[in-house]
Amino acid sequence: MATAMSTEGTSSSWLRGETRKKPTAFLLRALLFVCVAFRVAVALIRVLYHAAAGSVLGVARVLFAAANERCLRGMDRAALGRGSFFAGAMANSWRVLMQGLASLMFLCARADEYVRQPPSPLVLTDHDKPAAHPQQVHISTVGRDKMRISWVTDDRSTPSVVEYGKSRGNYTASATGGHATYKYFFYESGAIHHVTIGPLAPGTTYHYRCGKAGDELTLRTPPASLPIELVVTGDLGQTRWTASTLAHIGGADYDMLLLPGDLSYADTQQPLWDSFGRLVQPLASARPWMVTEGNHEAEALPVVGFAPFVAYNARWRMPHEESGSASNLYYSFDAAGGAAHVVMLGSYAEFEEGSEQRAWLERDLAGVDRRRTPWLLVLLHAPWYNTNQAHQGEGEAMRAAMEALLYEARVDVVFSGHVHAYERFTRIYDNEADGRGPMYITIGDGGNREGLALKFLEDHKSAHLSVFQEASFGHGRLRIVDETSAVWTWHRNDDEYATVRDEVWLESLASPKLSMATAGPRDKL
């Protein structure tokens, strides 16, 4: 033992001992040293080349790749049970670095755009129940009479089963689905379960339990005919403002919630997806939530090979296949027994002439019979019309590619988010007032961490088309009364009350009159 310790004490003795005992191991170590030296030399040459060319981005890419390779090696060592302290420290440092870079990227991209009020603290919702206990439960409609139940468990071996029935504790039916996980840097999700149940009766309350281990939950299916009430809120996040919005939404009944993008504001920090799912579960497990993606769902890091929308697509699976869409980023569905058709477009999927999304939209709208479906609604993230200083022109390319399709189909209302304020326009087509065009409503004021977009441009070219503007947090409700009439109200988060600040009556563009009766904004309280 003493001889062995002495041999390890000096490098020359170590080399002699290794050469005599294990020549193959020595050669491998030497080769590894040469390879590492060569890679370092190549990296330095690349850095010097980019520096000489004045390419800061090129230098950053080389350094980033080198750091990422080292970090991945540390992760592999941790997975094999070696070097746990080193690997753990590196993993944590890398996570902090990446979160900082992501935050800096978003900050720099918007530094000169507009000034927001100070951000609100996050409302983080913990999970303190057993690993097999379902969490983050949310539901969505699938076809005419089915619902998809989605949830997460930390235990990846729990069954993807939903038991359900019309009375408490009496489950007369069950359905089985599947689950999957995803990885993002050093984060690995729990098991994300998706189970479709049905056929279900419309307008009916069901009691259900996920995974044979959770609490009993209650949902109500949407009605099979009008009237129907739809809540619309965008750019939700998970702050105290969000909590206020959710409380106001839950304070009055509704049938379905529509969300035009920007859900969790995780922005690469994957645990925030989990916290968001727990925050919205009380509402999202009781009424269907139909969502589409926003820019904060992308989370793409091409240098490291992360494709966009990995977390969003895994967690919030929408019925795109049922509507003939090839992507979870855009789809459509019917509500109220087909009296309303809702199209969820993807602002961050290809939409130009010849794109898959545009071809799908043409087919989808062509299949809508306005005699049977008097109401046609569209949701997307980046607004096509916007007089706020924030995000000017970001929806223009999509508007140029798709606006004519919506106009020809006589879409009644287009909802969007992205701009953190409320704005309602008159009916528009091609930048002019047109009674046969959609009404455009921006409602990106759900409660995100970035604050409100406070400045509207009085001299904007679309200012004469803008009917009502206010930079406040809140949510909206569209109550479709019958085949010809609907009422839209916007509810501002005003202290403890959801104050109604804007109200307008609409007449369906499927109506022969093709007109709209309006009531102006309510007087200030």
297 in the same domain as 415: yes
423 in the same domain as 320: yes
CATH number at residue 176: 2.60.40.380
Q: Identify the residue with better confidence: 1 or 210.
A: 210
Q: Write the single-letter amino acid at 76.
A: D
483 within some domain? yes
263 within some domain? yes
Q: What tokens does 252 get?
A: 């009055």
- Beta strands per DSSP E along 60-177: 135-142, 146-153, 161-165, 173-176
331 within some domain? yes
Q: Identify the residue with better confidence: 119 or 396.
A: 396
Mean pLDDT check: name the lowest of 96-110, 218-232, 323-337. Answer: 96-110
Residues whose CB is less than 8 angstroms from the CB of residue 39 and which lie 6 or more positions away in sequence, other chains included: none
Position 279 scores a pLDDT of 97
User: What pLDDT band is residue 120 in, cutting at 50, 70 and 90?
Assistant: confident
Mean pLDDT check: name the lowest of 32-36, 213-217, 516-520. Answer: 516-520
138 within some domain? yes
Q: What is the mean pLDDT of residues 349-364?
A: 98
Quote the number of domains for the chain: 2
- % of the chain at pLDDT higher than 90: 68
Task: Identify the domain containing residue 192 by its residue range.
Answer: 133-221
Position 19 scores a pLDDT of 41
Position 441 scores a pLDDT of 98
471 in the same domain as 451: yes
499 within some domain? yes
- In our burial notation (b when 16+ CB lie closer than 10 A, e otherwise), range 480-501 reads beebebbbbbbbbbbeeebbbb
- Mean pLDDT computed over every residue of the chain: 84
268 in the same domain as 167: no
Residue 220 in contact with residue 288, Cβ under 8 Å? no
CA pair distance 280, 267, nearest whole angstrom: 18
CATH number at residue 314: 3.60.21.10
Position 3 scores a pLDDT of 35
User: What pLDDT band is residue 518 in, cutting at 50, 70 and 90?
Assistant: very low
Position 495 scores a pLDDT of 67
464 in the same domain as 426: yes
Residue 347 in contact with residue 398, Cβ under 8 Å? yes
445-485: pLDDT as tens digits: 999 988 999 999 999 999 999 999 999 999 999 999 999 99
User: What pLDDT band is residue 338 in, cutting at 50, 70 and 90?
Assistant: very high
Q: Check pLDDT > 50 for residue 269.
A: yes
44 within some domain? no
216 in the same domain as 232: no
Which among 161, 186, 221 is the end of a domain? 221
128 within some domain? no
Per annotation, catalytic residue among 193, 391, 420, 475: 391
Side-chain-side CA neighbours of residue 121 (13 Å): 3
Position 213 scores a pLDDT of 87
User: What pLDDT band is residue 106 in, cutting at 50, 70 and 90?
Assistant: very low
Q: What DSSP assignment string belongs to 59-83?
A: HHHHHHHHHHHHHHHHHHHHHTTSS
pTM for the structure as a whole: 0.78
232 in the same domain as 210: no
Position 457 scores a pLDDT of 97
Is 391 noted as a catalytic residue in this protein?
Answer: yes
428 in the same domain as 293: yes
Q: Identify the residue with better confidence: 376 or 301.
A: 376
Position 306 scores a pLDDT of 78
Which among 221, 236, 252 is the end of a domain? 221
Q: Check pLDDT > 80 for residue 78.
A: no
Which among 205, 221, 237 is the end of a domain? 221
243 in the same domain as 382: yes
339 within some domain? yes
Position 358 scores a pLDDT of 98
20-53: pLDDT as tens digits: 444 555 665 665 566 556 556 656 766 576 566 5
